[in-house]
Amino acid sequence: MVPIIYIIIFYPAELAIAPIIFTILFLIALKNYNKKLGPVTVQLRTEFGEMDDKLNESLTGIELIKSTAQEMRQSQKYLIHAGKYRDAYMQEGKIQAKYTPLLILAIAISFDLSGRLQSELAGAPPMDEGADKGKLQWPPVIGFSVVTLAAAVGAAKILNLDEQQIAEAIGIAGCICPPNIFRKWTDTAPVKMTKYGPSGWGAQAGVTSALLAEMGYTGDTDLFDGEYGFWRYTGQEAGRIEDAIADLGLKWRYYQMKYKQYPCGG
């Protein structure tokens, strides 16, 4: 609430409308989330306790009775509770995956980082002759490899990874990101259906990178360093990574991104 009060005191009051609406919607979403998650969490703990008890009973009963029929009966009881625990665990995961505020935050972070990295790539110089003199032109290599890195960071935020794990996720994403084939696609006639980078595969690579980092898999945490770093092996002119993150946490750059009116065109 402190930032909202600060805005109202020192800035035009209308600037506080969006934060106030966001806060209200956030509280509603949080209440709904806890309402759905609470019973499932209780069930998960209960089934885990029951499963543990049945396992102990089964082991004790088998040792005392040594009966094949009793052994089968105890095993079946354990499997029943193990199945219920599995179902509750999956249900908890589905609810957590739909937690809207965290999802929105992860998307915002991914958009911002993607815009930062993309904006720092060195473009081709303006045309210096002919009828198009002074007009900007596309660089010889352009694409969306950096978007996979941003997707990995967003997924890492949802998984609540620590700083080192996020660095590992970025390093892994830099290894499996799609190539920058924008110019090859645009300059090929007739135009093919394999457009300049499959968004789905790029997103999957980002999510996979975060999941691997969570499990302890390591990536190249010096991804942008050295003569043969990320910019070089993706075929681009050296990007200014220091400039890209200079005001990180102080200023959003997601607004630099633009949306197409339609998802595809003919």
Report domain extents, the chain: 17-97, 142-256
Amino acid at 48: F
Q: What's the confidence (pLDDT) of residue 135? A: 67
Q: Which amino acid is at 4?
A: I
Nearest to 210 by CA among 175, 168, 174: 168
Distance of CA 18 to the CA centre of its chain: 25
DSSP state of 246: T
Chosen CATH of 142-256 out of 3.30.450.20, 3.55.50.30, 1.10.4100.10, 3.30.70.3270: 1.10.4100.10
pTM for this prediction: 0.66
CA–CA–CA angle 15, 248, 100 (5° rounding): 60
Distance CA 234, CA 145 (A): 7
User: Which has the higher per-residue pLDDT, 193 or 261?
Assistant: 193
Distances (CA, A) of 121 to 2, 52, 193, 230: 37, 56, 27, 12
C-beta of residue 179 within 8 angstroms of C-beta of residue 145 = yes
| Tokens (6 digits) for 147 | 């978007």
| pLDDT for 209 beyond 90 | yes
Give the pair of three-digit tokens for residue 211: 């999941």
Contact 166, 151 (CB under 8 A): no
Instruction: Using alpha carbons, select from 76, 82, 85 the residue that is nearest to residue 43.
Output: 85
> pLDDT by residue (tens digit) across 140-181?
788 888 889 999 999 999 888 999 999 999 999 999 998 888
Nearest alpha-carbon partner for 106 in 68, 142, 42, 151: 151
Report the C-alpha gap between 9 and 229 in whole angstroms: 47
What does the pLDDT look like over 24-56, one tens digit per residue? 887 888 888 888 888 888 887 887 777 777 666
Q: Return the pLDDT at 266.
A: 44
